[in-house]
Protein backbone atom coordinates (compact mmCIF):
# COMPACT_ATOMS: atom_id res chain seq x y z
CA UNK A 1 0.00 0.00 0.00
CA UNK A 2 1.34 3.45 -0.92
CA UNK A 3 -0.14 5.32 2.06
CA UNK A 4 -1.35 4.17 5.46
CA UNK A 5 -4.89 5.17 6.40
CA UNK A 6 -4.89 8.81 7.48
CA UNK A 7 -1.54 9.67 5.84
CA UNK A 8 -3.24 10.76 2.62
CA UNK A 9 -5.15 13.41 4.56
CA UNK A 10 -1.84 14.81 5.89
CA UNK A 11 -0.35 14.79 2.38
CA UNK A 12 -3.28 16.83 1.03
CA UNK A 13 -2.93 19.24 3.97
CA UNK A 14 0.81 19.67 3.22
CA UNK A 15 0.12 20.32 -0.49
CA UNK A 16 -2.55 22.90 0.41
CA UNK A 17 -0.18 24.66 2.82
CA UNK A 18 2.60 24.69 0.24
CA UNK A 19 0.24 26.08 -2.43
CA UNK A 20 -1.06 28.86 -0.20
CA UNK A 21 2.46 29.97 0.66
CA UNK A 22 3.90 29.66 -2.88
CA UNK A 23 4.90 32.65 -5.02
CA UNK A 24 2.62 31.46 -7.84
CA UNK A 25 -0.42 31.55 -5.60
CA UNK A 26 0.47 35.02 -4.34
CA UNK A 27 0.99 36.26 -7.92
CA UNK A 28 -2.40 34.83 -8.96
CA UNK A 29 -4.07 36.55 -6.01
CA UNK A 30 -2.53 39.89 -7.01
CA UNK A 31 -3.37 39.55 -10.75
CA UNK A 32 -6.88 38.09 -11.15
CA UNK A 33 -7.57 39.97 -14.42
CA UNK A 34 -4.64 38.27 -16.17
CA UNK A 35 -5.86 34.85 -15.02
CA UNK A 36 -9.40 35.64 -16.20
CA UNK A 37 -7.99 36.81 -19.57
CA UNK A 38 -5.89 33.65 -20.00
CA UNK A 39 -8.90 31.49 -19.11
CA UNK A 40 -11.18 33.35 -21.54
CA UNK A 41 -8.60 33.06 -24.34
CA UNK A 42 -8.18 29.33 -23.65
CA UNK A 43 -11.95 28.76 -23.74
CA UNK A 44 -12.17 30.76 -27.00
CA UNK A 45 -9.40 28.68 -28.64
CA UNK A 46 -11.03 25.47 -27.43
CA UNK A 47 -14.38 26.61 -28.86
CA UNK A 48 -12.78 27.32 -32.26
CA UNK A 49 -11.13 23.88 -32.28
CA UNK A 50 -14.42 22.14 -31.41
CA UNK A 51 -16.32 24.07 -34.13
CA UNK A 52 -13.60 23.28 -36.68
CA UNK A 53 -13.78 19.58 -35.83
CA UNK A 54 -17.58 19.48 -36.06
CA UNK A 55 -17.83 21.49 -39.30
CA UNK A 56 -18.44 19.42 -42.44
CA UNK A 57 -15.42 18.84 -44.67
CA UNK A 58 -15.21 20.90 -47.84
CA UNK A 59 -14.87 18.78 -50.98
CA UNK A 60 -11.56 19.03 -52.77
CA UNK A 61 -11.86 21.27 -55.79
CA UNK A 62 -10.64 19.57 -58.95
CA UNK A 63 -9.02 21.95 -61.40
CA UNK A 64 -10.16 21.49 -64.99
CA UNK A 65 -7.59 22.83 -67.39
CA UNK A 66 -8.71 24.05 -70.82
CA UNK A 67 -5.40 23.06 -72.44
CA UNK A 68 -3.21 20.00 -72.04
CA UNK A 69 0.24 18.86 -73.08
CA UNK A 70 0.57 16.38 -75.91
CA UNK A 71 3.66 14.60 -77.16
CA UNK A 72 4.55 14.15 -80.83
CA UNK A 73 5.77 10.56 -81.18
CA UNK A 74 7.53 11.46 -84.48
CA UNK A 75 9.63 14.36 -83.20
CA UNK A 76 9.67 13.81 -79.42
CA UNK A 77 8.44 17.37 -78.84
CA UNK A 78 5.58 18.73 -76.76
CA UNK A 79 2.65 20.65 -78.19
CA UNK A 80 -0.55 22.06 -76.69
CA UNK A 81 -4.13 21.06 -77.57
CA UNK A 82 -7.55 21.17 -75.93
CA UNK A 83 -7.63 19.16 -72.70
CA UNK A 84 -10.74 17.23 -73.74
CA UNK A 85 -9.03 15.86 -76.90
CA UNK A 86 -8.84 12.06 -76.73
CA UNK A 87 -5.45 10.72 -77.84
CA UNK A 88 -4.06 9.81 -80.23
CA UNK A 89 -4.62 13.14 -81.97
CA UNK A 90 -3.09 14.85 -85.00
CA UNK A 91 0.44 16.00 -84.28
CA UNK A 92 2.29 18.91 -85.92
CA UNK A 93 4.62 16.45 -87.70
CA UNK A 94 1.80 14.43 -89.26
CA UNK A 95 0.84 10.78 -88.81
CA UNK A 96 3.03 7.88 -87.74
CA UNK A 97 4.41 5.56 -90.45
CA UNK A 98 1.45 3.21 -89.86
CA UNK A 99 -0.99 6.08 -90.53
CA UNK A 100 -2.11 6.56 -86.90
CA UNK A 101 -2.11 10.07 -85.39
CA UNK A 102 1.18 10.77 -83.59
CA UNK A 103 -0.10 12.94 -80.70
CA UNK A 104 -0.44 11.32 -77.27
CA UNK A 105 -1.23 13.00 -73.97
CA UNK A 106 1.80 14.02 -71.90
CA UNK A 107 1.95 14.77 -68.20
CA UNK A 108 4.55 17.45 -67.57
CA UNK A 109 5.83 18.11 -64.05
CA UNK A 110 8.11 20.57 -62.32
CA UNK A 111 9.65 21.08 -58.89
CA UNK A 112 9.46 24.89 -59.12
CA UNK A 113 6.24 26.91 -58.93
CA UNK A 114 7.14 29.26 -61.79
CA UNK A 115 8.96 26.85 -64.11
CA UNK A 116 10.48 27.50 -67.49
CA UNK A 117 11.06 24.83 -70.11
CA UNK A 118 14.32 23.65 -68.55
CA UNK A 119 12.68 23.26 -65.10
CA UNK A 120 10.03 20.82 -66.34
CA UNK A 121 10.08 17.16 -67.32
CA UNK A 122 7.69 14.70 -68.96
CA UNK A 123 6.55 12.27 -66.28
CA UNK A 124 4.62 9.88 -68.50
CA UNK A 125 2.56 9.58 -71.66
CA UNK A 126 -1.04 8.39 -71.86
CA UNK A 127 -3.47 6.89 -74.36
CA UNK A 128 -6.87 5.27 -73.79
CA UNK A 129 -7.03 1.50 -73.67
CA UNK A 130 -9.25 0.78 -76.67
CA UNK A 131 -9.77 -2.83 -75.54
CA UNK A 132 -11.90 -1.69 -72.59
CA UNK A 133 -15.48 -0.98 -73.61
CA UNK A 134 -17.28 2.15 -72.31
CA UNK A 135 -14.08 3.66 -70.97
CA UNK A 136 -14.61 7.24 -69.82
CA UNK A 137 -11.26 8.10 -71.40
CA UNK A 138 -12.00 6.42 -74.72
CA UNK A 139 -15.44 8.02 -74.97
CA UNK A 140 -14.32 11.45 -73.78
CA UNK A 141 -16.89 11.45 -70.96
CA UNK A 142 -16.14 12.69 -67.48
CA UNK A 143 -17.50 11.14 -64.30
CA UNK A 144 -17.70 12.68 -60.85
CA UNK A 145 -15.77 9.77 -59.39
CA UNK A 146 -13.13 9.72 -62.16
CA UNK A 147 -10.40 10.68 -59.69
CA UNK A 148 -11.07 7.49 -57.70
CA UNK A 149 -10.78 5.24 -60.75
CA UNK A 150 -8.25 7.26 -62.74
CA UNK A 151 -6.13 4.36 -63.97
CA UNK A 152 -8.99 2.33 -65.41
CA UNK A 153 -9.07 2.41 -69.18
CA UNK A 154 -5.71 4.19 -69.54
CA UNK A 155 -2.40 3.00 -70.85
CA UNK A 156 0.75 4.85 -69.82
CA UNK A 157 4.47 4.68 -70.46
CA UNK A 158 7.67 6.65 -69.92
CA UNK A 159 9.01 8.61 -72.89
CA UNK A 160 11.89 6.12 -73.17
CA UNK A 161 9.68 3.00 -72.97
CA UNK A 162 8.38 1.09 -75.99
CA UNK A 163 5.49 -0.75 -74.31
CA UNK A 164 2.27 0.80 -73.04
CA UNK A 165 1.04 -0.63 -69.71
CA UNK A 166 -2.32 -0.25 -67.91
CA UNK A 167 -2.10 2.65 -65.45
CA UNK A 168 -3.68 0.60 -62.67
CA UNK A 169 -1.26 -2.34 -63.13
CA UNK A 170 1.86 -2.92 -61.02
CA UNK A 171 4.03 -1.57 -63.86
CA UNK A 172 1.82 1.50 -64.22
CA UNK A 173 1.86 2.22 -60.50
CA UNK A 174 5.67 1.88 -60.55
CA UNK A 175 5.85 4.56 -63.26
CA UNK A 176 3.60 6.88 -61.23
CA UNK A 177 5.59 6.31 -58.02
CA UNK A 178 8.80 7.12 -59.91
CA UNK A 179 7.34 10.38 -61.24
CA UNK A 180 6.29 11.58 -57.79
CA UNK A 181 9.58 10.84 -56.03
CA UNK A 182 10.95 13.89 -54.16
CA UNK A 183 14.09 15.58 -55.45
CA UNK A 184 17.32 16.01 -53.46
CA UNK A 185 15.70 18.91 -51.54
CA UNK A 186 12.72 16.77 -50.50
CA UNK A 187 10.26 18.60 -52.81
CA UNK A 188 7.65 16.60 -54.71
CA UNK A 189 6.86 17.54 -58.31
CA UNK A 190 3.54 19.09 -59.29
CA UNK A 191 1.66 19.13 -62.59
CA UNK A 192 2.82 21.94 -64.86
CA UNK A 193 -0.12 23.10 -66.99
CA UNK A 194 0.35 24.76 -70.38
CA UNK A 195 -0.31 28.49 -70.62
pLDDT band at residue 151 under the 50/70/90 scheme: low
- Length of the chain measured in residues: 195
Average pLDDT estimate for 125-140: 68
* pLDDT exceeds 70 at position 31: yes
Residue 3's pLDDT is what?
A: 58
Residue 177's pLDDT is what?
A: 92
Residue 114's pLDDT is what?
A: 77
Listed range (30-44, 54-68, 109-123) with the worst mean pLDDT: 54-68
Spatial distance between the Cα atoms of 138 and 153, rounded to a whole number of angstroms: 7
pLDDT band at residue 102 under the 50/70/90 scheme: very high
Residue 62's pLDDT is what?
A: 67
Residues 166-186 have pLDDT tens digits of 998 899 999 999 999 988 888
For residue 118, the number of C-alpha atoms closer than 13 Å in the C-beta half-sphere is 0
Domain segments of the chain: what residues?
7-54, 67-191
- 3-state helix, strand and coil shares in percent for the chain, rounded to the nearest 5: 30, 20, 50
pLDDT band at residue 136 under the 50/70/90 scheme: very low
Q: Would you call 146 exposed, middle or buried from its count of C-beta atoms within 10 A (0-12, 13-18, 19+)?
A: middle
pLDDT band at residue 2 under the 50/70/90 scheme: low
Residues 57-100 have pLDDT tens digits of 777 676 778 899 999 999 999 999 998 899 999 999 999 999 99
* pLDDT exceeds 90 at position 148: no
Spatial distance between the Cα atoms of 144 and 151, rounded to a whole number of angstroms: 15
Arithmetic mean of pLDDT over the chain: 83
Listed range (6-15, 21-30, 63-72, 130-139) with the worst mean pLDDT: 130-139
Q: Which of 187 and 140 is assigned the larger pLDDT?
A: 187
Amino acid sequence: MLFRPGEFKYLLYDIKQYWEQSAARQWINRNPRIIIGITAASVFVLLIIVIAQLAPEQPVEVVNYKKAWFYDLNTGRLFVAKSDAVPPIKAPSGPLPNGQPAGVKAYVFSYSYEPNESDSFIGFLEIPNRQIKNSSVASGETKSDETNSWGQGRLIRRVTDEQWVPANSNEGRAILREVYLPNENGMRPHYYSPR
